[in-house]
Amino acid sequence: MDDATWTLIRHNLVPMLEATVNKTLPLTAISFAIGLVIALFVALARMSKLWPLSALARIYISIIRGTPLLVQLFIIFFGLPAFGIVLEPFPAAIIAFSLNVGGYAAEIIRAAILSVAHGQWEASYSVGMNYAQALRLVILPQASRIAVPPLSNTLISLVKDTSLASTILVTELLRTAQMAAAPTFDFFALYGVAAIYYWVVCLILGFFQTHLETRLARHVAR
């Protein structure tokens, strides 16, 4: 790379870092948190004995898992205005990513709940707990240990998926790199820097994932 390219990279290191901190990470965190709430309710609905509720959950999961995230993003941002619903890019991205996480994480949470021994439910009921109390105090804490690894992987994938928000003009990391490279067409260099930023964020999350799994393993061993 020539001096002009290195200068371009140096001038955009801070703006790209700011985009990561101010847009990419908040977009990831907010979408993941909302997605987990959606996933929990969908997982419980999927397990419900009420067939209409279970059927709706199945349909939701099937649609989310059977369609590309980019299409979901476009439907929310470009499609909803046809019905009079106009959203700004950042909220539209949050809605799309949250719904997507909800569809994938619902099956993870459902599997984790089902993996808890049925006797735990019976023991909870025997001491006077109702369904909600047994779920909150006994079942979910045990299921969370099982769900942590796959949910962590979902979070890491979400970090990378936020790059799709650039297609609806959210000025996150990739969009910032695109705009910086456009005047000189030096996309390789700035896309390379963006890739490094994504990689570093995923490495950090991977470190915390490993640490959390180790702590949970020790807790279970006791």
Q: Do the beta carbons of residue 93 and residue 73 sit within 8 Å?
A: yes
**10 Å Cβ neighbour count for 143?**
22
Residues in the chain predicted with pLDDT less than 50, given as ranges, are: 219, 221-222
Smallest CA-to-CA distance from 195 within 179, 174, 212, 215 is with 174
Smallest CA-to-CA distance from 164 within 134, 198, 190, 193 is with 198
Tokens (6 digits) for 126: 């025997």
Which helix (H) or strand (E) segment holds residue 165: the answer is none
Q: Is 20 exposed, middle or buried (0-12, 13-18, 19+ CB in 10 A)?
A: buried
pLDDT in tens, 41-85: 999 999 999 999 999 999 999 999 999 999 999 999 999 999 999
Alpha helix positions (H), the chain:
3-19, 25-47, 51-66, 69-74, 89-115, 118-126, 131-134, 140-161, 173-181, 187-221
pTM greater than 0.95: no
Question: What pLDDT, on the 0 to 100 scale, is given for residue 145?
Answer: 86
Domains of the chain: residue spans and CATH: 3-221 (1.10.3720.10)
Q: How far apart are CA 201 and CA 28, in angstroms?
A: 11
In sequence order, the 6+-apart residues with CB closer than 8 A to the CB of 94 are 27, 30, 31, 34
Question: What pLDDT, on the 0 to 100 scale, is given for residue 217?
Answer: 67
Question: What pLDDT, on the 0 to 100 scale, is given for residue 211?
Answer: 84
If you ran DSSP here, which 8-state letter would residue 79 be given? I
